[in-house]
Chain A
Amino acid sequence: MQEKISTVKRGIRYRTVSQISGPLLIVKGVKSAAYGEIVKIEGPDGEIRTGQVLETGFGYAVIQVFEGTRGLDTRNTTVTFTGETMKFPVSMELLGRIFNGRGEPIDKKPPPLAVDELDVNGAPINPSAREYPKEFIQTGISAIDGMNTLSRGQKLPLFTESGLPHNILAAQIARQATIPGKEEEFVIVFAAMGIGMEDALFFREEFERTGALSRLVMFLNLAEDPAIERIITPRLALTTAEYLAFQQDLHVLVIMTDMLNYGEALREISAAREEVPGRRGYPGYLYTDLATNYERCGRIVGKKGSITLMPIVTMPGGDVTHPVVDLTGYITEGQIYLDRNLHRKGIYPPINVLPSLSRLMKEATRYTREDHQSLSDQLYYCYAEGVELRGLVAVVGEEALTERDRKYLEFADAFERNFIAQGVYENRSLETTLTIGWNLLSTYIPESDWKRIDPKIIEKYCPKYRKFELE
């Protein structure tokens, strides 16, 4: 029906660019461009770029150019309206492939065969179709499995700072993540936005080495690539993930890094449009924009596949109140904090469990082991106590501490050394993690202080009482 009435002839080239500002082009004389329509732009250099209509009216269209506008002019640049919104061709052949940030293969292989073309913006999952994530994912990392359990379909970001080993951690999670007992492997969709080539290569090599490359789809927008392209990169990744999860029944783990760069790209467009800024120059719709991306993951009733999301967000100068970090925290289901102090102490992974939180843990631990949640609560409590005492020691000196206090201090140190810290290639089962936890408690903290754990559970699971080996 739309075709019949449409007044713009698709495929006509307009040579009527009237204004170029930042990443935006304004084209005059266009009768009726569709909102969100994709355009092809040919610059004086003959290079073809892609753009999208951000605003349209009688006689004009505002276009954002993904590759940036450098080299375009108002005289010779031509704009062709495609009549399409942005689509991405999908098939199982995407697995093992590497694309740039706008979805073109860059691994020197022919374009993958497409079985379908999907709108990169997706569509919201009907809230009544969602299934609550509750299936425990074992990452093999104690600080996560034991203290901040991840579930299939959860969105759990890493909040980090530059110079911390978040990439190493993300790669380790991607390598090790599994559902115990099912051993179904995760397919990884990796979206890089504005990160260095080295970091991107690191991920690639990690997967190559473990033979997991065939389970990986990569979208790479690197630091030197056009910034505006970053607007589409996560959408391509999530479109791929939706296809793999909800049409191919696979369990998909999406890693996106670095969302800060994504936010900056949005800010740039917003500034070019002279929009009224919200906080710190970021557009007022930053929350909604991030949410429309993050909320594409989850589980759907009756579907086997799932999308689990782990965005990596750098906190500039360690500032959690930075809009991209803050709003990510407002959308995701918890957060894992990496901590510079732990890193300096040589603890890997430097996960600070105190401000970290997995909001879905209470559900997941109902299906793991009976002692999991309460042991975790107890460990949390003791560690928090120990860390607080460190502060007191700094003021009043160690002498002022009681015997009990000293135990908590020692516990906190041991907890960091033995529980949090582990090897980059060390893959701990949940049982191992819990055993380490029980042993630490038994060594340092008098049992009368284990108030968060039911005595029956202590008797059944604490290694010092255990009469039989748990399997």
Chain B
Amino acid sequence: MDKEIAGVIMRISGPVVYAKGLVNAKIYEVVRVGYEGLIGEIISLREDVGIIQVYEETTGLRPGDPVYLTGGPLSVELGPGIIGQIYDGIQRPLPDIRSKIGDFIRRGVVSPALPRNKKWHFVPLVKVGEKVSGGDIIGKVEETPLIEHRIMVPPGLKGIVTDVSREGDYTVEDPVVTLNSEGKEISLNMIQRWPVRVPRPFVEKLSPDEPLLTGQRIIDTLFPVAKGGTATIPGGFGTGKTVTQHQLAKWAHANVVVYVGCGERGNEMTEVLETFPKLKDPRTNRPLMERTILIANVSNMPVAAREASIYTGVTIAEYFRDMGYDVALMADSTSRWAEALREISGRLEEMPGEEGFPPYLGRRLSEFYERAGKVITLGKERRIGSVTIIGAVSPPGGDFSEPVVQSTLRLVKVFWALDKSLAERRHFPAINWLTSYSLYVDVLKDWYVKTVAEDWPELIKEVMSILQKEDELKEIVKIVGPDALPESDREILEVARMIREDFLTQHAYHPVDSYCPIEKSYLMLKAILQFHKGAKAKLIEGVPLTKIMALPIKDEIARMKIIPPSEFKNVYEHIINELKIQFSSLKGER
């Protein structure tokens, strides 16, 4: 911190510091506050008085203490070494900090986000004399066996290559390519910096047309999210937001996963750190950590850094998108982020909106979800990449009418509504099938028809209509009791129960059930509906429902979940065969 003192602190209120004398400061510039050089950001500037949100604990700061400028906005470092990392909300590498100062986070520590000593095997992909511009790939590094890290010309830069390093091992700071850009020599290394609050540019946004498969049956079949789409998962405490987000982080068909633990529990990050290296991606058979990046600004870490954490996360996501990857970002929980916003806004004595949240809550949320999308990236090849954003919301008292849920629902296309009563009955995932929705169902129809099965749309329609019918019938049962229903309606209730228990519930911690490929989901539904068809026919022939429900094949249907995908095709054929045999053995009593 050899910088000159730019200003002095006038007032301190929690994470918010007022400073004056900031004549040369810019709005959103990062500053260092006090003698310990705490990291902060100027969030408001009026003449020479700036309001600074400080990303570290401010206890001990005094009016009169110095403030230094750094010259740039809050930025992340992008380059090899990001994958597998766990960062705090402003991209400080937590394991590194631990090795420097121990198990507890104290303030004023800095540590580069990307390891400086590590050497990467760089393979150049440009030649001297070539014309390049922002987004063009100049080389590659195998960062993990899963991720080829494509080194790109930073956006906004162009020029002619004048020098290229030979294939070999380099640190991120070693120059690898030199450009002549309008007469100036610019040397590029493997690090890019990008301000977190500014979306990274792309050529064109495309409309999503492919699902981001998650291996979660209810999601992939009934309420799919598209690659490049947005989804939200609100629910009261203990309803399954985190488990679902973890499931998506484990099994989503994405190339890169950015998981932002934003104001939630420390142990949940530990859980990811302990389990992901051991779990294998079912499609590549490599440890999941080789595609995962964690941002952990847990609940007891400073709130201002929590506010920044989702931007840090989404900027990293966009960077990998720009390489042409499908990236999935989970934020758990956006409510804690909104609360950070509220706390800072309160300290600024801004006019509050609903429930004390600042009136710009909706705008800020929309700026965040806007950064999702499937795009044609910068660069000659016009790569296609996507960022899918899935945000958890933790409404107070589980009440979905509160501002964060409501503002989010106006923005996102998929709503997975977690239901406390389902969770209490231990129906997991506790996603309510009647209130949830996906606005992607129509645009994804073609994909499902082409990739999974012709009859996909009809199948899903039938499933939904059985579940809806069940709901209506249950209302009647509540009044008149189950005996008053005709057998045909009771059959619907039974099949609906099969759909719920044998298909919709999915055990996150069962080694097989945890991940269900779409082909298996499809066949599972086929089997249940085949049962339904047989049952209906037999009822007409006069076979009593109790007899139908006592068929042994029902137990086999219930066990489909835990049949490994590799064996499932055979089991399915066996079930269909048995259905035929067992149904034809039933004789009507009429």
Contact = CB atoms under 8 A, between A and B. Distances in A.
A7 B14 CA distance: 21
Interface stretch (A109-117, A137-145, A248-256, A292-300): A292-300
Interface stretch (B90-98, B219-227, B453-461, B524-532): B90-98
A57 B339 contact: no
Nearest to A6: B62
B13 interface: yes
A261 to B, nearest CB: 20
B270 A58 contact: no
B346 A300 contact: no
A42 to B, nearest CB: 23
A36 B274 CA distance: 36
A400 B484 CA distance: 12
B273 A275 contact: no
B303 A125 contact: no
A360 B426 CA distance: 15
Interface stretch (A171-179, A196-204, A322-330): A322-330
A6 B424 CA distance: 57
B397 A126 contact: no
B339 A284 contact: yes
A318 interface: no
A133 B352 contact: no
B59 A34 contact: yes
A129 B238 contact: no
A44 interface: no
Interface string A292-333: 100110101101000000000000000011010011011101
B237 interface: yes
Residue among B63, B98, B267, B340 with max Cβ neighbours from chain A (10 Å): B267
Interface string B342-364: 11001000001001100000000
Nearest to B559: A451
A301 to B, nearest CB: 8
A127 B60 contact: no
A40 interface: no
Nearest to A61: B63
Contacts of A335: 238
A130 B266 contact: yes
Contacts of B55: none
Contacts of A424: none
A153 B265 CA distance: 13
A279 B335 CA distance: 14
Given A123-B104, A124-B105, A277-B356, A5 B63 contact: no
A32 interface: yes
Contacts of A277: 356
B103 interface: yes
B512 to A, nearest CB: 13
B104 A278 contact: no
Contacts of A300: 103
A67 interface: no
B86 A31 contact: no
Given A128-B95, A132-B270, A295-B298, A276 B238 contact: no
Nearest to B296: A127
Contacts of A131: 270
Nearest to A357: B238
A163 interface: no
Given A127-B298, A128-B273, A277-B356, A56 B343 contact: no
A362 B509 contact: yes
Contacts of A278: 339, 342, 355-356
B476 to A, nearest CB: 13
A359 interface: yes
Interface residues of B, number: 66
Contacts of A1: 35
B103 A303 contact: yes
B413 interface: no
B4 interface: no
Give the bracket for the number of chain A residues in contact with chain B. 35 or more
Interface in A379-430: 380-381, 384, 395-396, 400
A130 B65 contact: no
B396 A246 contact: no
Interface string A323-351: 10011011101110000000000000000
B97 A55 contact: no
A49 to B, nearest CB: 20
Interface in B467-481: 481
A157 to B, nearest CB: 11
Contact of B10 (A2, A58, A127, A354): A58
Contact of A323 (B57, B63, B267, B396): B396
Nearest to A36: B59
A231 B296 CA distance: 27
A276 B351 CA distance: 9
B393 to A, nearest CB: 12
Given A126-B97, A128-B94, A279 B62 contact: no
A380 B427 CA distance: 12
Contacts of B435: none
Contact of A5 (B64, B303, B424): B64
Contact of A56 (B62, B94, B394, B509): B62
B104 A126 contact: yes
A329 B59 contact: no
A363 B255 CA distance: 29
Interface in A260-282: 275-279
Contacts of B394: 330
Residue among B273, B299, B342 with max Cβ neighbours from chain A (10 Å): B299
B433 to A, nearest CB: 20
Contact of A130 (B10, B267, B339): B267
Interface string B326-338: 0000000000100
Contacts of B263: 287-288, 291
Contact of B59 (A32, A35, A380): A35
B299 A291 contact: yes
Contact of B269 (A122, A127, A381): A127
B399 interface: yes
B339 A288 contact: yes
A126 B355 CA distance: 32
A380 B339 contact: no
A81 B397 CA distance: 41
Contacts of A377: 426
Interface string B555-575: 000100000000000000000
Contacts of B296: 127-128
Contacts of A129: 98, 102-104
Contacts of B47: none
Given A291-B300, A326-B237, A132 B271 contact: yes
A295 B266 contact: yes
B182 interface: no
B536 interface: no
A435 interface: no
Nearest to A396: B481
B11 interface: yes
B386 interface: no
A31 B63 contact: yes
B426 A380 contact: yes
A355 B59 contact: no
A296 B60 CA distance: 21
A450 to B, nearest CB: 13
Contacts of A123: 57, 104-106
Given A292-B300, A295-B265, A333-B267, 17 more contacts: A2-B62, A2-B65, A6-B62, A32-B64, A34-B59, A56-B63, A58-B10, A124-B298, A126-B98, A128-B269, A129-B98, A287-B339, A326-B396, A330-B394, A334-B238, A362-B509, A400-B483
Interface of B: 10-14, 18, 35, 57-65, 86, 94-95, 97-98, 102-106, 236-238, 261, 263, 265-267, 269-271, 273-274, 296, 298-301, 303, 336, 339-340, 342-343, 346, 352, 355-356, 394, 396-399, 424-426, 481, 483, 509, 558
12 contacts: A33-B63, A121-B59, A124-B104, A124-B266, A126-B103, A127-B270, A128-B94, A132-B274, A295-B265, A295-B298, A329-B236, A396-B481
